[in-house]
């Protein structure tokens, strides 16, 4: 097993991020007092922004993945490119604005949780609303209840439980943490071989949280650390494609955990139900 140092790095997956990347990098400077290197794992940007950012900042490295590999696979590439002196890696979307001291607050929490494998901050929407970023794992019943009723009845009990929307804003463990901003203990990330590259987008963070917990680590929510999720420049163009990817990833997550002939009829019904839901949402 590789012994890592105490260094800190940030990996962000870029895909024509536009001017959000400038905000990401400028606010990162106040997120920690520690030296931090940044890897831009680029999935085929055409706007030239990641290349320009790497040219303008000595601590920023441009890493071409060779194509659009998806979020998890590109993040894995970025983490693997780091030297062994880096033992702490923040994987974050490039459309974040870092709160002052947010990374330092996550690192301080890691001292309090020696079995913590992943640490997630409080994430705010641009409106100031708190995004429910620390959730329970989607069991079959809870996940299906959320899928069926979330749009028609937002306050339904399945969605409320799954999102943990009513939970107090205190440091606690969670089933999984939003992949839009995660501080990862590199040892823990390695122990589960990183993100599952089969998830092109969506549910890669749910899957990671589940596998980290199964490997004996903890997912820890740290609301003392705050970031703002501005909203992706690169994801505003393909809502139908994104919805299809979300439903495909949801099925993959559930089917991976309900294998065998006894579950086959149930998973067939889940596949049909998710297909119908997708048609309704994209009609």
Contact 211, 72 (CB under 8 A): no
pLDDT exceeds cutoff 90 at 193:
yes
**Per-residue pLDDT reduced to its tens digit, 114-164:** 999 999 999 999 999 999 999 999 876 665 665 655 666 676 665 666 566
The Cα 183–Cα 93 span in angstroms is 12
pTM of the entire predicted model: 0.87
220 SS3 class: strand
Q: Provide mean pLDDT across the span 203-210.
A: 97
Nearest to 204 by CA among 263, 261, 145, 245: 245
211 SS3 class: helix
Q: Which range (86-90, 136-140, 162-166, 197-201) has the least confidence? A: 162-166
pLDDT exceeds cutoff 80 at 33:
yes
Confidence of residue 57 (pLDDT cuts 50, 70, 90): very high
Q: Which range (13-22, 90-99, 188-197, 250-259) has the least confidence? A: 250-259
Q: Name the strand (E) or helix (H) holding 189.
A: helix 186-191
């Amino acid at each position: 097993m590789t012994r890592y140092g105490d260094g800190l790095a940030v990996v962000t997956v870029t895909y024509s991020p536009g001017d959000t990347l400038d905000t990401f990098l400028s606010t990162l400077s106040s997120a920690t007092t520690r030296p931090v290197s940044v890897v831009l794992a680029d999935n085929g940007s055409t706007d030239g922004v990641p290349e320009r950012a790497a040219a303008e900042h000595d601590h920023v490295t441009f890493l071409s993945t060779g194509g659009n590999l998806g979020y998890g696979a590109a993040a894995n590439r970025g983490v693997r490119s780091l030297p062994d002196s880096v033992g702490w890696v923040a994987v974050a979307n490039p459309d974040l604005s870092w709160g002052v001291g947010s990374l330092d607050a996550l690192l301080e929490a890691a001292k309090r949780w020696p079995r913590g494998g992943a640490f997630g901050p409080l994430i705010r929407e641009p409106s100031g609303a708190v995004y429910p970023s620390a959730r329970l794992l989607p069991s079959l019943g809870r996940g299906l209840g959320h899928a069926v009723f979330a749009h028609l009845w937002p306050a339904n009990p399945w969605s409320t439980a799954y999102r943990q929307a009513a939970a107090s804003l205190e440091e606690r463990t969670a089933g999984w943490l939003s992949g839009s901003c995660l501080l990862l203990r590199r040892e823990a990330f390695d122990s589960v071989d990183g993100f599952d590259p089969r998830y092109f987008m969506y549910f890669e963070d749910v899957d990671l949280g589940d596998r980290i917990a199964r490997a004996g680590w903890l997912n820890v929510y740290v609301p003392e650390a705050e970031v703002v999720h501005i909203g992706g420049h690169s994801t505003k163009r393909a809502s139908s494609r994104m919805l299809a990817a979300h439903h495909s990833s949801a099925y993959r997550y559930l089917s991976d955990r309900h294998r065998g002939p006894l579950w086959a009829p149930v998973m067939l019904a889940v596949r049909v139900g998710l297909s119908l839901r997708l048609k309704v949402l994209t009609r």
